[in-house]
């Protein structure tokens, strides 16, 4: 049997592509997912009986593709708790901090630069070459900014980008800003956290779609080799459980994961170059600490702590509705070469920091869970799109189909690429491309 389409990867992007295929009336398709679950970089964890997001969690009101999907699936969202004081740990002590307004000079300067970078082809920007040769840190050094601005910019952008400013190529950042609505989109200082969480966890999106697709989703099926992708004849897709054939293949994953698969014939140099240039090893850890109640709220605290160069980068109150417990998340962006820290040590350092800001009650959580994405074979840390040359040298290969392979995943989206919203958009786009390409084959050759 030859499938019309095989979707490789059951993250939000692949599941959304499969959902579109089904809604188009196509029946002859299959999703192959490496893990024993769908959802990819979204993950439901249970902490003292409370559902928390081990992966992606925040959605903001500008992210219309994910908001539409949530609406269609009947999935509710709840607002981020943001009432009360925020803290920063500076010099070992917790201090109340007021959100600083973004520096208008920096915002205007960068928005003017963003205006010259197109979402479709950032490599064609007039200054693409110059900006490809410069890091964000080097650019900031030329801007004559005060220390406070430099610090808020560093915190906001390092959290949003999961990389030190010295490793972010300016051209790539400007594209990311273009894709997310300008300077204020990706990580404007003091723009705060995005605003909504998903009731039941972000992974309920993929779980809901998987339940609807039934046996069209094959779990624990890591694709190891893709042959004859350039046709004619069907593409062969190998997994340890057997080989399937398809007319079209949607690769719904980032380039760094796609590069772990063997291709015959080999992929062209441009696409291989793209895979090799994506930096895949930046670590992102999330922890959730559960308490009997959100006691920090009684003390007038929002739950947010910013800790430049600390054990974690930022914390927030992510207590879902319907529980008396209180839940604090931390996001940890670790340098690649940092030795992994044990759960016990991370817990001890985290609650000690919470105690500095919120008092002794913080030393008595009822549960503490951690998720380290660098340890996940089918995620491999955060897929960074910051390396020099990624767009300038290999950008045209990012979305261009190759033979019968169609590239999907959040990284291919023109908008909110790298985010859940981009994953939904990348899925829509890949499904449309596959359907159009199948339709084209029905047109008789003249």
Ligand X SMILES: Cc1cc2nc3c(=O)[nH]c(=O)nc-3n(C[C@H](O)[C@H](O)[C@H](O)COP(=O)(O)OP(=O)(O)OC[C@H]3O[C@@H](n4cnc5c(N)ncnc54)[C@H](O)[C@@H]3O)c2cc1C
Q: Which residues bind ligand X (CB under 6 A)?
A: 8-14, 32-35, 40-42, 55-58, 222-223, 252-254, 257, 260-261, 284, 286, 373, 378-379, 382, 409-410, 418-421, 423, 426
- In this complex, which beta carbon is closest to ligand X, that of residue 106 or of residue 305? 305
By beta-carbon proximity to ligand X, the closer residue of 280 and 347 is 280
**Shortest distance, position 160 Cβ to ligand X, whole Å:** 10
Is the preceding omega at residue 265 within 30 degrees of 0, hence cis?
yes
- Rounded to whole angstroms, how far apart are CA atoms 100 and 52? 29
Which one, 103 or 180, has the nearer CB to ligand X?
Answer: 180
Residue with tokens 């082809």: 121
Comparison of 38 and 114: residue with beta carbon closer to ligand X: 38
Strands 93-97 and 85-90, sheet pairing = antiparallel
Q: Write down the least CB distance from residue 159 to ligand X, Å.
A: 10
Cα-Cα end-to-end distance for the chain: 29
Closer Cβ to ligand X, 58 or 296, answer by number: 58
Spatial distance between the Cα atoms of 303 and 82, rounded to a whole number of angstroms: 8
Q: Give the H/E segment covering residue 77.
A: strand 77-79
Closest contact distance (angstroms) between CB of 114 and ligand X is 20
We find the least distance from the C-beta atom of residue 62 to ligand X, in angstroms, to be 11
Cα separation of 282 and 163, whole Å? 7
- Considering beta carbons, is residue 10 or 365 the nearer one to ligand X? 10
Closest separation in Å from C-beta 422 to ligand X: 6
Q: What is the CA radius of gyration of the chain?
A: 22
Q: Which is nearer to ligand X, 35 or 399 (CB)?
A: 35
- Separation between Cα atoms, residue 188 and residue 209, nearest integer Å: 34
DSSP, residue by residue, 26-48: --SEEEE-SSSSSBTT--EEEET
CB closer to ligand X, 173 vs 284: 284
Cα angle 6-410-158, degrees, rounded to a multiple of 5:
150
Distances (CA, A) of 291 to 44, 50, 334, 351, 361: 19, 11, 25, 11, 9
Kindly state the smallest distance separating residue 93's Cβ from ligand X, in Å.
28
Nearer to ligand X, 387 or 429 (CB): 429
Residue matched to tokens 């890091």: 135
Cα dist from 117 to 71, 111, 138, 207, 328, whole Å: 32, 10, 19, 37, 38
Q: 5 Cβ partners below 8 Å, 6+ apart?
A: 21, 26, 28, 29, 30, 246, 247, 248, 249, 250, 434, 438
Task: Decide: 224 and 239 in contact? Cβ < 8 Å.
Answer: yes
**Helix 64-73 and helix 204-213: axis angle, to 10°?**
50
Among 159, 155, 55, residue whose Cα is nearest residue 370: 55
Smallest gap, in angstroms, from Cβ of residue 258 to ligand X?
A: 8
Token code pair at residue 137: 């840190």
CA distances from 256 to 46, 252, 259, 365 (A): 29, 12, 5, 37
C-alpha 89, offset from chain centre: 27
Q: Which CB atom, from 410 or from 433, has the smaller least distance to ligand X?
A: 410
C-beta closer to ligand X: residue 14 or 294: 14
Q: Closest separation between CB of residue 42 and ligand X, Å? A: 5
Tell me how far, at minimum, the Cβ of 300 lies from ligand X, in Å: 26
């Amino acid at each position: 049997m030859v499938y019309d389409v095989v979707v490789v990867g059951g993250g939000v992007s692949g599941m959304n592509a499969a959902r579109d295929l089904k809604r188009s009336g196509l029946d002859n398709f299959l999703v192959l997912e490496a893990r024993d679950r769908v959802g990819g970089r979204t993950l439901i964890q249970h902490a003292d009986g409370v559902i928390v997001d081990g992966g992606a969690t925040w959605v903001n009101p500008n992210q219309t593709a994910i908001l539409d999907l949530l609406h269609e699936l009947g999935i509710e969202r709840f607002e981020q708790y943001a009432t009360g004081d925020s803290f920063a740990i500076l010099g070992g002590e917790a201090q109340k901090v007021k959100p600083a307004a973004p520096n208008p000079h920096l915002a205007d300067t960068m928005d003017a630069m963003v205006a010259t970078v197109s979402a479709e082809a950032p490599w064609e920007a007039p200054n693409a070459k110059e900006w490809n040769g410069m890091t964000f840190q080097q650019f900031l050094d030329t801007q004559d900014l005060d220390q406070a601005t430099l610090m808020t910019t560093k915190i906001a952008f390092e959290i949003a980008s999961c990389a030190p400013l010295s490793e972010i190529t300016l051209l790539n950042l400007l594209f990311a800003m273009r894709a997310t609505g300008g300077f204020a989109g990706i990580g404007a200082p003091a723009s705060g956290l995005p605003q909504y969480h998903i009731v039941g966890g972000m992974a309920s999106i993929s779980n809901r779609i998987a339940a609807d697709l039934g046996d069209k989703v094959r779990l624990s099926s890591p694709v190891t080799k893709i042959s004859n992708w350039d046709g004619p004849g069907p593409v062969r897709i190998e997994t340890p459980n057997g080989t399937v054939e398809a007319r079209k293949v949607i690769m719904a994953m980032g380039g760094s994961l796609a590069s772990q698969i063997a291709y015959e014939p080999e992929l062209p140099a441009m696409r291989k170059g793209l895979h090799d240039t994506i930096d895949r090893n930046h670590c992102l850890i999330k922890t959730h600490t559960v308490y009997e109640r959100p006691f920090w709220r009684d003390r007038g605290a929002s739950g947010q702590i910013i800790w430049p160069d600390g054990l974690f980068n930022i914390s927030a109150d992510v207590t879902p509705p319907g529980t008396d417990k209180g839940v604090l998340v931390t996001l940890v962006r670790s340098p690649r070469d940092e030795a992994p820290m044990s759960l016990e040590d991370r817990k001890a350092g985290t609650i000690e920091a919470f105690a500095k800001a919120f008092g002794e009650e913080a030393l008595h959580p009822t549960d503490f869970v951690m998720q380290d994405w660098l340890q996940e074979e089918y995620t491999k840390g955060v897929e960074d799109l910051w390396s020099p040359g990624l767009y300038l040298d290999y950008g045209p290969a990012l979305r261009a189909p190759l033979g019968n392979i169609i590239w999907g995943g959040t990284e291919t989206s023109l908008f909110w690429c790298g985010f859940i919203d981009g994953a939904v958009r990348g899925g829509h786009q890949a499904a449309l491309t596959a359907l159009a390409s199948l339709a084209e084959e029905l047109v008789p050759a003249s």
